[in-house]
Structure 1
Amino acid sequence: MNLPEAVIPAFLRAIRVNRPFLTAEGAAEEVRKQELRPGSYSPRKKLHPDVAVSVRRHSGRPVYTVAPTGSTPSGEVIYVHGGGWVHEINPYQWALIAQVAAEANTRVTVPIYELLPYGSAVSTNEFIVDLFEDVKTEHNEVRLAGDSAGGQIALSAALTLRDRGHADIRTVLISPPLDLTLSNPDIGGVLPKDPWLAVEGIRAVAKRWAGDLPITDPKISPLLGDFDGLGPILLLTGTHEILNPDAHLLVSKARAAGVEVTLLERDAAVHAFPLLPTRPAAAARARIVAALRA
């Protein structure tokens, strides 16, 4: 069932979804809460009628594979879920993963990476890079995708993989945080319109995720890296999210480096809008599927 897109911001404000991001103290409390009672990462038993789900361990962590059942899959996608580096993968993310596997006829690998307070940008970057090289074969194209914090992790991994000789990796990024200093002066103009995110809490969580790295390191702020040698990027963003101004900087910087970038920007849409149960989100998901076909 699709909801009217116009009701989404009011609903998010009513349930105070932005509470963990308003202050550094709220962010710390959210990390403690999730540490004490972590959410489930398991997919629903009947995720999609046309996919099969399996799980294995890689570097001690669960890694799921979602693959189409009616044909031989072509290529591989590593999908990194969002959740502010604090929350586990949710049903909306699983639904998108299943749709990509079924409709793009591709195998989707889903790493359940370690979250705060135990995970970090360095260990997760190493995990995703190692996983990419594990599933990569001579004739197997591997693409990277992620939403929100997962988009940051995916793009940072693409930069590291480029440095290791894996050029032209295709990426799909849904509302990624790109510069965790959040110093873009245009953020202040978007902040009153964003019902989901806020600056102080994100900065606090990002600082913990960075660990011993400076917040400007491309493993935590990929916008500050060198984009030469990256493959095509599909970037999805809403104008009512504070990450939107940096999305435009990414487009300019990537294109200046010769990278093909497609920007899918939805006016008045909120953070991670393609995951929501609305008609515009469904259209965005179709674009994601098309971009992730091998």
Structure 2
Amino acid sequence: MVTVPSRLIAPALRLMRANRVFVTAEAARRRVRALEVRPAAYGPPSRLRQDVRVDVSQPGWPVYTITPVGTTPVGSVVYVHGGGWVNQIAGQHWHLAAQIAAEANTTVMVPIYPLVPFGTASVVAAGIVALVRDNLERCGTTCLAGDSAGGQIALSSALLLRDEHGIALPRTVLISPALDLSWSNPLIPTVQPSDPWLATPGGVVLAELWKGDRDILDPVVSPLMGDLTGLGPITLFSGTRDVLNPDAHLLVDKAAAAGVDLEFHEGTGQVHVYPLLPTVVGQDARARIVQSLSQGVAAPLDA
């Protein structure tokens, strides 16, 4: 992978108009309509690492399984991709999932969950919970990971696993997660001018569609509103040039108050989902993600 200096990322994102889906409510609605008529492709890139194998099954949604070649994998990771609940999985997600499989020597499951307007928070969270429970039976120790919208789904699912099944995961990795879909944190406007990727107007539209029949502050939609007590360890990544960063700090505080082990990696000057980007900082963050999940899948089932 070619490495790009971090200082070039924000100008490049602005040049690419990376925030065009989020910058206005109408832009978000147009994106939903366009993908409703012509859904985006979701298969893995033709070139992934040669030391992994990719298979796919259809237990309701397509679920891809990435396994290391030539070794016996330990446990599993369910990776939930981001994309604002409307954009399909991208190449960066596939490459990270493959890196986790190869370097953590684990099985990585990548669900292609339904996006808005077809998917809602409660339906998708229930599907992720079912996938984790199935993995616990088939693969042993299982961790959750997700970025952005996928981080919201991962944490909401971890709360449901605790509440409905008494399961505390050995590790949940959250990369720039959306935590409060009301977009009401008073610090968001102070961060917004520096964020080249996300914005509130479109985010509010997508959140309203995603919540379905749930209240916007239901933890299945906004996991920051949930009681964190009893959750397993969390690893959290957030950049300071991300409008979701103020809520990340609230999650850190809530975890400390609930006695939850939370390891916070804050990227000063970094943008949304910076661990997925082709920078030295992103590369270091991916190594930390692999290390964190390696330790998680190796944890005893009754830990």
TM-score interval, smaller chain: over 0.9
TM-aligned CA deviation for residue 137 of structure 1: 2.2
Residue 77 of structure 1 aligns with an amino acid whose one-letter code is V
In the alignment, what sits opposite 2:46?
45
Cα distance change of structure 1 residues 138 and 114 upon mapping to structure 2, 3 Å threshold: closer
Residue 3 of structure 1 aligns with an amino acid whose one-letter code is V
2:235 match: secondary structure: strand
Of residues 84-93 and 130-139 in structure 1, the stretch that sits farther from structure 2 once superposed is 130-139
Which 4+ runs in 1 deviate beyond 2 A?
A: none
Do the aligned partners of 1:79 and 1:145 also contact (CA within 8 Å) in 2? yes
TM-score, structure 2 as length reference: 0.95
* Number of equivalenced pairs: 293
For the aligned residue pairs, the C-alpha RMSD in angstroms reads: 1.1
In structure 2, what is the Cα distance between the partners aligned to 1:292 and 1:80? Answer: 14
Do the aligned partners of 2:125 and 2:157 also contact (CA within 8 Å) in 1? yes
In the alignment, what sits opposite 2:162?
162
TM-aligned CA deviation for residue 282 of structure 1: 0.2
Deviations 1:171-216 (A, max 9, x none): 0000001011111111111000000000111011001000111100
Do the aligned partners of 2:144 and 2:169 also contact (CA within 8 Å) in 1? no
TM-score, structure 1 as length reference: 0.98
Of residues 239-248 and 139-148 in structure 1, the stretch that sits farther from structure 2 once superposed is 139-148
In structure 1, what is the Cα distance between the partners aligned to 2:169 and 2:79? Answer: 17
- For structure 2, the residue ranges without an aligned partner over 5 or more in a row are 298-303
2:281 match: secondary structure: helix
- For structure 1, the residue ranges without an aligned partner over 5 or more in a row are none
Q: Map of 1:1-294 to 2, 5 A cutoff?
A: 1-58=2-59, 60-137=60-137, 140-163=140-163, 164-293=165-294, 294=297
1:66 match: secondary structure: strand
In structure 1, what is the Cα distance between the partners aligned to 2:116 and 2:170? Answer: 27
Do the aligned partners of 1:79 and 1:111 also contact (CA within 8 Å) in 2? yes
In structure 1, what is the Cα distance between the partners aligned to 2:122 and 2:261? Answer: 27
In structure 2, what is the Cα distance between the partners aligned to 1:137 and 1:212? Answer: 31
Q: Percent same amino acid at aligned positions?
A: 54
Do the aligned partners of 2:143 and 2:169 also contact (CA within 8 Å) in 1? no
In structure 1, what is the Cα distance between the partners aligned to 2:49 and 2:35? Answer: 28
2:6 match: secondary structure: coil
Cα distance change of structure 1 residues 207 and 249 upon mapping to structure 2, 3 Å threshold: same
